Structure 1
Amino acid sequence: MDLRKMYYFVAIVKYQSFSRAANALHISQPSLSNAIKTLEREIGALLIERTTKQFQLTELGEQFYERSNRLIAQFEVMETELKEFAEGEHIEIRLGMIESANYWFSQVIIAYQQQFPYNKITLIDTLYNQTVREALLRLNVHGVITNQQIVDHEIKSELLYNEPYVILTKIDHPFASQELIKLSDFAEETLIIGMPEFQTSGQILKAFEQEEITPHIQYKIERFEMIKLLVEEGLGIAILPHHYVAQPLPECLMTHRVQSEFLNRNVYLCTMKDRTFPESIIKLFELIKKMH
């Protein structure tokens, strides 16, 4: 039994067809069929039912498919790790990152480049839970900084920090003269918010729901930067993560604390549990944990 036949078998299951799998693998269908028959002879049992019109695995075929997937994934991880170790200090490190982390991460890059000047760093936006999970499992990234605690037996989520949400308004907004702002004060306000499918927006909407308040949402925007621009134009107010507005703001804007036990969030560093990293990548993770 060899890994090539496992790849072939997994492809057949994926495409539910010998012909479609053969096209995807760029081999002839007879060659693929012969490879699977050889595999079945080596195992001593059928993996695919050949007595029905529909594609169907035998019970052993189901087990073999699951184990083959795991072995192939482990092989791909090992192959990636060996290449990275061979590259030494000339690695491209790929990180997924939420928008609000950009403002402190620049200091991490400065400190890291002093130690590893030849390594390259690529930053990728990660906004959705599924995007984070898939990016890690497919080895598209080495780690992800996210406000989503990914629950997966293959992924490790380490808490970096907890941060409050704050209100962003123009300096001449009535909130500027209020010492205490509550969510109930939003009843007459136009709220600018992120897309509902984002966890940040979900947490904000949940806070209103828990305090039995219905906000007036006029705009739903994907990027924090655009939200900030709309506030600057006087089109409404926004609730944003503290780290995003911690950097200097335009003179016409200001932030306010809001009294709500529900308006805060955790930020995590997520990595693959069983992936082995070179020392240079481990050092970057250490700086992230130290300098956030």
Structure 2
Amino acid sequence: MDIRQLKYFDSLVRNKKFTKAAEELFISQPSLTNMIKKLEKELGFKLFERTTREISLTESGELFYKHTQNIMQVYDLTLKEMEEIKFVGKGKITIAVLESSNFWLPKVIKTFAEKYRELKINFKNIIFWEDVEKALLNYDIHFAITNHQTNNPNLVHYELYQDELIILLPETHHLSKKRAVAFNDLKDEIFINFSKGFQIREDFLKLCLEAGFNPKSIYEVNDFDAVCSLVENELGIALMPESYFKYAPQKLEKLSYTRIKDPTPTRSVYISFHKQRYLTPATHDLITLVKKFFE
């Protein structure tokens, strides 16, 4: 048995027809049929129930399919790790990043690049945590800067910093001169909210619930720059992470903000990676530099 046989078997299970699977695999139907017969003979049991229309797995085939998925995943992850080892000091590091980290992370990368001039850094803006977690588990990214934690035992989360959440205002807003406000003082305001999937949206809705009001939200957006533009044009106010402006103060040139009191809301920002994945010395160095930036 080899990995090619398992891939042929997987294709046939997904396509349910020899003709479709053969087309996907770019082989002839007789070749696929012979490969499956050979696999069944080697295993000593039938994998498929064959009908005139579609095929289906036998009970033994179902169990075999379950195990082949694990084998193929391990095989793919192993190939990715071998590529890492092959190109130590070269290749690329792929990182999933929060939008708010786009202003401080380049400062870290600049230091890193002085030592690793041949390494490329690939940034991925992944919005939904489910997608970040999947990318980490599939080795599609080396690590992530995120505001989520998970109970997945294969992932490690190291807290980098606490990010205060503030209220972004137009310069002319009646609250712009106030140092801090209670969140329930904002119940009559029009809010610019983030789309579903953003953690800051969940933070915002939780604050509204605790303050006892349903927010008036007309606009929903997918990035921080859009929020700034809408607020600047006096179309509403918004909950934002302070770090977005801490490392890019120019963003506040035509805006104002106030803090939230009693209590002051914060969120944690983490660096996350797969604890079982092989990471090159260069990747470890970059993770260390990110941690040191906030010490």
Give TM-score, length-normalised by structure 1.
0.92
CA distance in 1 between partners of 2:134 and 2:16 (Å): 22
- Residue 126 of structure 1: aligned partner: 126
1:126 and 1:146 in contact (8 A); partners too = no
CA distance in 2 between partners of 1:234 and 1:32 (Å): 64
- Residue 258 of structure 1: aligned partner: 260
- Residue 87 of structure 1: aligned partner: 87
1:223 Cα shift?
A: 0.8
1:37 Cα shift?
A: 1.1
- Residue 175 of structure 1: aligned partner: 175
- Residue 66 of structure 2: aligned partner: 66
Number of aligned residue pairs? 292
**Residues 57 and 168 of structure 1: is their aligned pair in 2 closer, same or farther, counting only changes over 3 Å?**
same
**Residues 6 and 168 of structure 1: is their aligned pair in 2 closer, same or farther, counting only changes over 3 Å?**
same
CA distance in 1 between partners of 2:22 and 2:130 (Å): 30
1:230 Cα shift?
A: 1.5
Give deviations 1:228-267, integer Å, cap 9, x for gaps.
1121222221110121121213333222211254832222
**Residues 251 and 81 of structure 1: is their aligned pair in 2 closer, same or farther, counting only changes over 3 Å?**
same
1:183 and 1:213 in contact (8 A); partners too = no
Aligned-partner SS, 2:23:
helix
1:59 Cα shift?
A: 2.5
Is residue 275 of structure 1 aligned with residue 288 of structure 2?
no
Q: 2:112 is matched by which residue type in structure 1?
A: Y
CA distance in 1 between partners of 2:212 and 2:71 (Å): 50
- Worse-superposed segment, 157-166 or 239-248: 157-166
1:166 and 1:257 in contact (8 A); partners too = yes
Give deviations 1:123-181, integer Å, cap 9, x for gaps.
11110123213323443322221223244354433333332211111333222333430
- Residue 189 of structure 2: aligned partner: 189
CA distance in 2 between partners of 1:273 and 1:21 (Å): 36
CA distance in 1 between partners of 2:157 and 2:35 (Å): 41
- Residue 103 of structure 2: aligned partner: 103
Aligned-partner SS, 1:245:
helix
Q: 1:97 is matched by which residue type in structure 2?
A: V
1:129 and 1:150 in contact (8 A); partners too = no
- Worse-superposed segment, 261-270 or 64-73: 261-270
**Residues 266 and 55 of structure 1: is their aligned pair in 2 closer, same or farther, counting only changes over 3 Å?**
farther
Give deviations 1:71-130, integer Å, cap 9, x for gaps.
211121221111222112112111111101111111110111122121110111110123
**Residues 191 and 260 of structure 1: is their aligned pair in 2 closer, same or farther, counting only changes over 3 Å?**
farther
Is residue 77 of structure 1 aligned with residue 77 of structure 2?
yes
Task: Give identity over the alignment, percent.
Answer: 32
CA distance in 1 between partners of 2:19 and 2:159 (Å): 47
Give TM-score, length-normalised by structure 2.
0.91
CA RMSD of aligned residues (A): 2.1
Is residue 242 of structure 1 aligned with residue 247 of structure 2?
no
CA distance in 1 between partners of 2:110 and 2:56 (Å): 55
**Residues 22 and 263 of structure 1: is their aligned pair in 2 closer, same or farther, counting only changes over 3 Å?**
farther
CA distance in 1 between partners of 2:86 and 2:118 (Å): 14
CA distance in 1 between partners of 2:116 and 2:110 (Å): 10
1:285 Cα shift?
A: 1.5
1:95 and 1:121 in contact (8 A); partners too = yes
In structure 1, the gaps of 5 or more residues are none
Aligned-partner SS, 2:56:
coil
- Worse-superposed segment, 145-154 or 39-48: 145-154
1:180 and 1:258 in contact (8 A); partners too = yes
